[in-house]
Amino acid sequence: MMMGDMTQFGSVMAGAMFIWAIFKQWFPDELGNHIETYFQRLVTYFYPYITITFHEYQGDEFERSKAYMAIERYLSTNSSNRAKRLKANVIKDCKSVVLSMDDYEEVTDEFKGIKIWWSSSKSVPQQRAIFSYHADDEKRYYKLTSHRKHRDIVTQVYVQHVLDEGNAIATKTRQRKLYTNSKSENWYGNKRTMWSHIIFEHPSTFDTLAMDPKKKKEILNDLLTFSTSKDYYKKVGKSWKRGYLLYGPPGTGKSSMIAAMANLLDYDMYDLELTSVNDNTDLRKLLIDTSSKSIIVIEDIDCSLDLTGQRKKKKKDNKDEKDNPNPIRKKKKAKKEKKSEVTLSGLLNFIDGLWSACGSERLIVFTTNHVEKLDPALIRRGRMDKHIEMSYCCFETFKVLAKNYLDLESHDLFATIGRLLEETNMTPADVAESLMPKSAEEDAESCLNGLIKSLENAKEEARVKAVEHAMIKCKVVGAGKKGEDDGDKKVQECDDSSESESSDSDD
Ligand SMILES: Nc1ncnc2c1ncn2[C@@H]1O[C@H](COP(=O)(O)OP(=O)(O)OP(=O)(O)O)[C@@H](O)[C@H]1O
Ligand SMILES: [Mg+2]
C-alpha cells in the first residue's frame, strides 16, 4: 500500500469514527459498545498500521522539541534526496542553507528490512491566539507510519536510532561558539543571556602546539579520558568537570593550548572576564547559562580580581582603618572597589560545582603568569585538578615549531640551536616569530640563521644584565661596609629587591 493510500484510508476511517460517535448515543449502551468493538477490529483488520506523531512544540513550551529537531535533521540527511519538495532554512550564524522536507511531503525510510513512512504536516488553528510564544501559530508535526507487526522494533529501536542519528548530525555540523560576557560589537547576543558570541574558529591544535611531546601526550590522554568518563564521575559522586591551571611566562602557548583543547574535544568556549561581573549573583547566572561540552576560561586570573589572598588583605585593611580612621578615604575606597564584588568564595563555590551542577561536561581553565601570587585555596587539587606549566622553548619544543613553520625535521643548524636554547630563555612565541619567513625569497636555512642570531642576542642581553646586577650588588655591599649604623639594613633591602627582580625576570 502506498503512503498516499494509507493516509486516505486513515482519513476515511477517522470520518467514519466521527459519524459513529454521533450515532452511538441512539443505541443502548451495551449494544453501542459491542458495535464499537467490532468496528475497531474491522478498522484494525483493514488498516494494520501504527502511527506516531512528533510535534514541533510540546504544550506551551517556548523551545522547539528536541525530538522534532533531531527527526528534522535525520530526515533532511537521510531522505531529502528522495523528497521532491524541500524547505530551505538559512542559518544566520553559519551563513549556510539547511534543507528539510517541506510541509505535506512524504518520504520512506528503511531500517533492518522494515519500511517506515514519514510525512510532514501542520495544523492551522481556526482562531488565532491573541498571545502565543510561537511566531506562527501553525503547529508542525512529523508522522511516522509502519506496519503494526513491527511495533516493538519501531518504538523501541528505530525511534531511538533516528534521535541518535539526528543528534550526531547536529554535533557534526554544529559551529562551535566563543562566548564572552564583556559585550563587544559584532557579537551576537540577546536580552535573555549575559553572554554574547561569535563563531569559534581558532587554528591551534595539539599538532601545532609546541611542547615536550611526552607532556603533550599526557595532557591529550587526560582530556580524552575526561570526555569519556561520564559514568565514572557519576559513580564517584563528582560533577563531571575538570579544572586546569595553565601557568608560565607570556608567549609560552597558554591561550593556544586552550584553543587546542576546544578543537580536540569539540567544545564551545566561554571567555569569562571576571572584572566585568558585578557580583557573585551575576557570576552564578553566567555560569548556569553555560552549556555542557564547554570550556570556561578565566585568563590572567591573578590580574582579574583581588583573588590573591583577600582574607589576608582584609585583615591588613582593618588594621589600617583602626590606626587611621578617615571617612573621606573610606568613601573613596568604596567607590574604587565598586568595580566587581565577586569574591574568592563565590568563585570557589562555582569551581566546586555548587552552581554548575545543573549542567555537565565542562572544563574550567585558569591561566596566569604568576602562579605564586594565587591563593592556594583557589588552585588546590580537586579545584584545579591539573597544573600545567608552559615554559620557555626547549629543543623538543623547537623541533615541533620547525616542523610546523618550515616543514623541517632535521638540519645541520639544529645542533647549534639546541645548545643556544639550553643557555638562553626564549619563549615559543619569539622562536616562532624568528622561524616565520619574512619574504617569499627567505628560505628555511636563513630563518634558522635568523633564529640563531636572535638567540645569541638574547644570550648577550642576559649576560649584560647579570653583570649589571652583580655590580649593583657589590656597590651596595661596599656602601654597607662603610656605613656604620644602617649598613646591614641596606644590604638587606638590596637583597630583597634583587630577589623579587630575578623572580620577575624568571617569569
Ligand atoms: N607552545 C606553543 N606552540 C605553538 N605556538 C606557540 C606556542 N607558544 C606560543 N606560540 C605562538 O605565540 C603566540 C602567542 O602565544 P599564546 O597567546 O598562546 O601565549 P600565552 O602563553 O597565552 O601568552 P600570555 O600569557 O601573554 O597570554 C601564539 O599565537 C602562537 O603562534
Ligand atoms: Mg594568553
In this structure, what C-alpha cell is assigned to residue 186? Answer: 559584532
Whether 320 is in a domain gets the answer: no
| Closest approach atom of ligand 1 to CA 209 | 3
Whether 335 is in a domain gets the answer: no
| Closest approach atom of ligand 1 to CA 401 | 4
pLDDT over 70 at 75, yes or no: yes
Shared domain for 123 and 84, answered yes or no, is yes
Q: Per-residue pLDDT tens for 150-166?
A: 999 999 999 999 999 98
Which ligand lies nearest the alpha carbon of 247?
Answer: 1
pLDDT over 50 at 100, yes or no: yes
Shared domain for 455 and 362, answered yes or no, is no
Residue 73 confidence (pLDDT) = 84
Whether 420 is in a domain gets the answer: yes
Listed range (17-21, 54-58, 105-109, 406-410) with the worst mean pLDDT: 17-21
Q: Which residue, by CA, sits nearest to atom 31 of ligand 1?
A: 429
Q: Which residue, by CA, sits nearest to atom 6 of ligand 1?
A: 253
| Closest approach atom of ligand 1 to CA 256 | 18
Shared domain for 136 and 204, answered yes or no, is no
Which ligand lies nearest the alpha carbon of 211?
Answer: 1
Split at pLDDT 50, 70, 90, the class of 82 is low
pLDDT over 70 at 301, yes or no: yes
Shared domain for 348 and 452, answered yes or no, is no
Whether 409 is in a domain gets the answer: yes
- Spacing, Cα 188 to ligand 2 middle (Å): 23
Q: Per-residue pLDDT tens for 313-322?
A: 444 444 444 5
The domain boundary residue, chosen from 355, 389, 423:
389
Residue 497 confidence (pLDDT) = 41
Residues of the domain holding 247? 178-305+340-389
Whether 118 is in a domain gets the answer: yes
Taking the C-alpha atoms of residue 424 and residue 401, their distance in angstroms, rounded to an integer, is 17
Burial (0-12, 13-18, 19+ Cβ within 10 Å), 342? buried
Taking the C-alpha atoms of residue 326 and residue 329, their distance in angstroms, rounded to an integer, is 5
Shared domain for 221 and 275, answered yes or no, is yes
- Spacing, Cα 222 to ligand 2 middle (Å): 21
Other CB atoms closer than 10 Å to residue 495's CB: what's the count?
12
H/E stretch holding 492 reads helix 487-506
Residue 101 confidence (pLDDT) = 75
pLDDT over 90 at 54, yes or no: yes
Shared domain for 373 and 442, answered yes or no, is no
Residue 369 confidence (pLDDT) = 94
Concatenating the DSSP letter of every residue in 460-477 gives HHHHHHHHHHHHHHHHHH
- Spacing, Cα 364 to ligand 1 middle (Å): 19
Whether 6 is in a domain gets the answer: no
Tell me how many domains the chain contains. Answer: 3
- Spacing, Cα 53 to ligand 1 middle (Å): 52
Split at pLDDT 50, 70, 90, the class of 503 is very low
- Spacing, Cα 249 to ligand 2 middle (Å): 10
- Spacing, Cα 432 to ligand 2 middle (Å): 15
Shared domain for 462 and 423, answered yes or no, is yes
Shared domain for 214 and 351, answered yes or no, is yes
Split at pLDDT 50, 70, 90, the class of 307 is low
Q: Per-residue pLDDT tens for 140-149?
A: 899 999 998 9
- Spacing, Cα 108 to ligand 1 middle (Å): 52
Which ligand lies nearest the alpha carbon of 431?
Answer: 1
- Spacing, Cα 371 to ligand 2 middle (Å): 14
pLDDT over 70 at 484, yes or no: no
Residue 492 confidence (pLDDT) = 44
Whether 333 is in a domain gets the answer: no
Mutate to test the pocket of ligand 1, among 206, 215, 255, 405 (most ligand atoms within 8 A of CB): 255
| Closest approach atom of ligand 1 to CA 257 | 18
Q: Identify which of 430, 439, 436 has the alpha carbon closest to the alpha carbon of residue 405.
A: 436
Residues whose beta carbons lie less than 5 angstroms from ion ligand 2: 254-255
Q: Which residue, by CA, sits nearest to atom 16 of ligand 1?
A: 253
Cβ pair 469, 505 in contact under 8 A: no
Residue 504 confidence (pLDDT) = 38
Shared domain for 370 and 403, answered yes or no, is no
pLDDT over 70 at 213, yes or no: yes
Q: Which residue, by CA, sits nearest to atom 7 of ligand 1?
A: 253
Which ligand lies nearest the alpha carbon of 204?
Answer: 1
Q: What is the mean pLDDT of residues 110-133?
A: 74
Q: In what order do the strands lie in the sheet with 362-368?
A: 188-189, 196-199, 177-180, 268-271, 294-298, 362-368, 241-247, 386-389
- Spacing, Cα 240 to ligand 1 middle (Å): 28
Split at pLDDT 50, 70, 90, the class of 483 is low
Beta strands in 148-292 (DSSP E): 177-180, 188-189, 196-199, 241-247, 268-271
- Spacing, Cα 429 to ligand 1 middle (Å): 5
Q: Which residue, by CA, sits nearest to atom 25 of ligand 1?
A: 250
Instruction: Kindly give the pairing relationship between strand 362-368 and strand 241-247.
Output: parallel
Whether 374 is in a domain gets the answer: yes
Shared domain for 147 and 185, answered yes or no, is no
pLDDT over 90 at 18, yes or no: no
Residues in contact with 457: Cβ distance below 8 Å, sequence separation at least 6, in sequence order:
none
Q: Which residue, by CA, sits nearest to atom 10 of ligand 1?
A: 429
The domain boundary residue, chosen from 119, 151, 173:
173
Residue 482 confidence (pLDDT) = 57
pLDDT over 50 at 263, yes or no: yes
pLDDT over 90 at 303, yes or no: no
pLDDT over 80 at 416, yes or no: yes
The domain boundary residue, chosen from 114, 147, 173:
173
ipTM of the complex: 0.98
pLDDT over 70 at 479, yes or no: no
Q: Which residue matches cell numbers 591529550?
A: 220
Residues with CB under 6 A from ligand 1: 208-211, 250-256, 369, 390, 428-429, 432
Shared domain for 194 and 248, answered yes or no, is yes
Q: What is the mean pLDDT of residues 292-311?
A: 76
Residue 9 confidence (pLDDT) = 66
In this structure, what C-alpha cell is assigned to residue 366? Answer: 585558569
pLDDT over 70 at 185, yes or no: no
Mutate to test the pocket of ligand 1, among 204, 252, 394, 425 (most ligand atoms within 8 A of CB): 252
Which ligand lies nearest the alpha carbon of 202?
Answer: 1
- The overall average pLDDT reported for the chain is 79
Split at pLDDT 50, 70, 90, the class of 363 is very high
Shared domain for 197 and 155, answered yes or no, is no
| Closest approach atom of ligand 1 to CA 369 | 25
Q: What is the mean pLDDT of residues 485-494?
A: 46
Residues in contact with 209: Cβ distance below 8 Å, sequence separation at least 6, in sequence order:
216, 253, 256, 257, 260, 400
Which ligand lies nearest the alpha carbon of 251?
Answer: 1
Would the pTM count as exceeding 0.80? Answer: no
- Spacing, Cα 215 to ligand 2 middle (Å): 19
